[in-house]
Amino acid sequence: METIVRLAARGDGVTESGRYVAGAVPGDTVDGDVIAPGPYHIAPACSHFGVCGGCQLQHADDAVLADFVSGRILGALAGVGIVPKTVHPAHLSPPGARRRASFRLVRDGGGVRLGFNVEGSSAVVDLAECPVVRPALWDAARTLRDALAPRLRTGHAVGMTLTDTVSGFDVLLTNLALPASDVGALAALASQAGLARIATETAAGVEIALQLAEPAVRFDGVAVALPPGGFLQATADGEAALQAAVLEGVAGAGTVADLFCGAGTFALPLSARAKVFAADAARDAVAALSAAAKRAGRPVTTAHRDLFRQPLQPAELDKFDAVVLDPPRAGAKTQVETIARSKLKRVVHVSCNPNTFARDAKILHEAGFRLTELWPVGQFRWSVHVELAAVFLR
């Protein structure tokens, strides 16, 4: 008999001897293939847990979840020899908080399935419930499933991303063209279901099929028009936790560069206390931020710029008191390398990938930066997806 002492990166329990046990959490004991639940093992919240690939950790209580979120980041940093000076308690988003989710629709012999992929498979679980997302978002997803069902042939798979905005739900459909006759039929449904916009994405690009209202989000009270399929943090509370960390991390800075800025998640809150330069490769998001900042009279200048191919150079970076980075999962290696050669003294790095964050952190560390504060954030509840904000000073 062995005891589970930790969780691996993909959510499996790990025994003292290093054995991986699916479905176990720290405190459980295992005898062969039999798991004896320990004090931190709880009943899953969803009947699909164990089959649906959307969640891996519904059987773990909040203490284990918090340790997992922090441990994923600290383990990646330890691998490159970095220990943060201060680690704040992990923030966990509550159940039913996801305001953005990407489902799949697939027609088979039994009808149209709505859900996520089976763990480790391209098959789709036909969900009867989803306690991760906001209840209204789940209702809208099911309504859309029923409305789109007649348009799907057998074997046809469609991606359906829903985002809950202040104007209603923004819907992006992939691999599905909607002729004009279908759009008219969907108009009444959209009004009843609280849909603000339906857009489609094909090889030809993104096209707005129907818009009853312009989907908008608010950052620091400033309304920003959300482009179709535009990025938004998964939960409002997770977004607030990251924003608070960023604002604390740049406190006192008069000029800030917000790189990989998106539509202004951090740029607009920062602009209440500093002059902000914001850059991103997403042209529509940058345009939306620029327009919103202008309407609100916020001191934000923007640039449409691919920071992977054209990172800010040391002479450009030296103009700022601080830099905020919020790159995609690939990290910001090229931009971090130019930061390392600059005279910058303060960097706040937001990340959704502990491994690429650790790689970037090592570059900064070797350039004289020290990781002074770390905020772990688990806004993708019950999943192995982890986010963070960190402050580097030199």
The residue type found at 94 is P
Dist CA 170 CA 161 (whole Å): 8
- What pLDDT, in 10s, does the model give residues 22-81? 999 999 999 988 999 999 999 999 999 999 999 999 999 999 999 999 999 999 999 999
Residues spanned by CATH 3.40.50.150 within the chain? Answer: 68-94+232-393
The residue whose two tokens read 């953005």 is: 100
- What are the pLDDT digits (tens) for 221-262? 999 999 998 899 999 999 999 999 999 999 999 999 999 999
Q: Residue 179 has what pLDDT?
A: 75
Specify whether the CB–CB gap between 218 and 242 falls below 8 A: no
pTM for the model: 0.95
Distance CA 200, CA 335 (A): 33
Give, in words, the CATH class of 100-216. mainly beta
Tallying the residues shown for the chain, one arrives at 394
What is the location of CATH 2.40.50.1070 in the chain? 100-216
- For 68-94+232-393, the fitting CATH number among 3.40.50.920, 3.40.50.150, 1.10.3720.10, 3.40.309.10 is 3.40.50.150
For 337-390, write each residue's pLDDT tens digit: 999 999 999 999 999 999 999 999 999 999 999 999 999 999 999 999 999 999
Query: Which of the residues are catalytic?
Result: 352
